[in-house]
Amino acid sequence: MDTEVDAIVIGAGPAGLAVAGCLSHQGAQAIVLEAENEVGARWRSHYDRLHLHTARDLSALPHVAWPSGVPTYPSRQHVVDYLERCAENVPDIRLGHRVTRVSEVDDGFEVAATSGARELTLRAASVVVASGYNRVPHRPRFAGEEVFAGEVVHSRAYRNGRAYLGKRALVVGAGNSGAEIALDLFEHGAVPSLLIRSPIHVMPRDFLGVPSQYSSLRLAKLPTKVADRAALAVSQLVYGDLRPHQIRRPKEGAITQMETRGRIPLVDVGTIELIRQKKITVVPSGIARFTERGIVCDNGDSHSFDLVVLATGYRAELAAFIVDAPPLLDARGYPRTHGASCPERPGLYFVGFRNPSTGALHDIAREAKRVAKSVAKTIATSGRRGEGARGRA
């Protein structure tokens, strides 16, 4: 017989731990399946320099306070330690269990997973997918990559720039990781360039010494057009016109872009200061092809590099393990429904697939509470609650 529980949570990152923490707080039986052998695996493997871009007091998960001594922006290691603390509140985390299939069955869902050579199947009325915004690296391929004599790495594999002293490096992609990796390369004595192909909005992490997240939370309550104007005013005040540095601003406002396309502005932690001082060079055109020594851009310019870091982002790749996923997903492959049971598939929940300006962890904390409440309600009404995990596990 398959193991049957109240709820299955897929993923033991911030979102999974937050939901599971809330569920166990409510006395629900939940099993957390984590593909890696540790909780918070993504946060463990991110580059060393990373900090939360949001203030710790607005980034706490439910029922777990940040410990004393953690600064306003917790470091990567602080976050890992914090997630371990969160995991202490979750009784049943199965590490090394990779979910291969989530399918709908008569009275709920069936979740298949592998643990080493072992395969197992579990059943639950509620399944919470918290496999992460950053599950699978998006790695574009370029013409001529095989002739390039230098090194090409995805930002997922980048830890720090220690090995690149004096090297000419190109970071492709001006998202938050790309911009910070360029900064990290400068700090390690490399000569970095940053490829910024499309117009981007840039927002300072702090404005007048206060985290921008505080103002974002206020802006989020305003009409989009007004919020766009306010965001533009801040960016203008802090950075002025960045066009001389080959950074163009999109016509569409920052908040509109976030709401309609899920595109978040670049949260600057010092990269722009270095671009202005010409310590980081902006390459304003996409890669047409690689050559032995570097790249040729779409605009015909060629540049020499020893290292190319692809900060080209991640995909959630939910269709890889959710049977018949497309109706649940938007054009970018992210879930349509957040923090509530999917109307198309009652009992299936998604948490942690948004990255709003008000902070991903802030969002996760709110959504986790809503989801846990909803799951608890299902348990109460269905009365299916047995003695918890039974049978073959």
Partner 1 sequence: MGEPSQGELRHWHAVLLSRELKDAPRAVTVCGRELVVFRVGETVGALVDRCPHRGARLSDGKVHLDQLVCPYHGWKWKADGSGRSPGNPVARPCVERFDAVERDGAIYVKRDGSEVAFPAVDVSGYHHVHSFRVDVAAPLEVTLDNFTEVEHTGEIHAVLGYDTDRMDEVVSTVTSTDDAIRVHNIGPQKPMPWALRKLIRLPDDPRFIDDWTTRFSPVHVVYDQYWLDEAGERSPDHLRAVVFFNPKGPKVTELMVRLYSGQPPWGRYGVNALLWPVLGALGRYEAELDKRLIESLADKSPVLRGNQLGRFDKALIGARNRIAKIYRGYD
The footprint of partner 1 (CB under 8 A) covers 51, 55-56, 67-75, 162, 165-166, 186-189, 209-210, 269-270, 273-274, 276-279
Our CB check for partner 1 shows the closer of 59 and 126 to be: 59
Smallest distance from partner 1 to CB 244, Å: 9
Smallest distance from partner 1 to CB 191, Å: 9
Smallest distance from partner 1 to CB 131, Å: 28
In whole angstroms, give the CA distance from residue 110 to residue 345: 13
Closest CA to 177 of 150, 197, 159: 159
122-161 b/e with 16+ CB inside 10 Å = b? bbbbbbbbbbbbbbeeeeeebeeeeebebebebbbebeeb
Residues with Cβ within 8 Å of 335's Cβ and at least 6 positions away in sequence, in order, are: 129, 316, 318, 328, 329, 342, 350, 353
Smallest distance from partner 1 to CB 186, Å: 7
Our CB check for partner 1 shows the closer of 236 and 302 to be: 236
CA end-to-end distance (rounded Å), the chain: 9
Our CB check for partner 1 shows the closer of 48 and 330 to be: 48
In whole angstroms, give the CA distance from residue 251 to residue 230: 15
Smallest distance from partner 1 to CB 361, Å: 14
In whole angstroms, give the CA distance from residue 164 to residue 185: 7
Smallest distance from partner 1 to CB 232, Å: 21
Contact 111, 124 (CB under 8 A): yes
Our CB check for partner 1 shows the closer of 282 and 319 to be: 282
Smallest distance from partner 1 to CB 359, Å: 14
In whole angstroms, give the CA distance from residue 266 to residue 175: 6
Contact 14, 352 (CB under 8 A): yes
In whole angstroms, give the CA distance from residue 8 to residue 342: 15
Our CB check for partner 1 shows the closer of 164 and 334 to be: 164
Contact 91, 32 (CB under 8 A): no
Q: How many CA atoms lie within 13 A of 308 on its CB side?
A: 27
Our CB check for partner 1 shows the closer of 65 and 380 to be: 65
Map tokens 């995805």 to a residue.
154
Smallest distance from partner 1 to CB 199, Å: 21
Our CB check for partner 1 shows the closer of 8 and 80 to be: 80
Our CB check for partner 1 shows the closer of 279 and 370 to be: 279
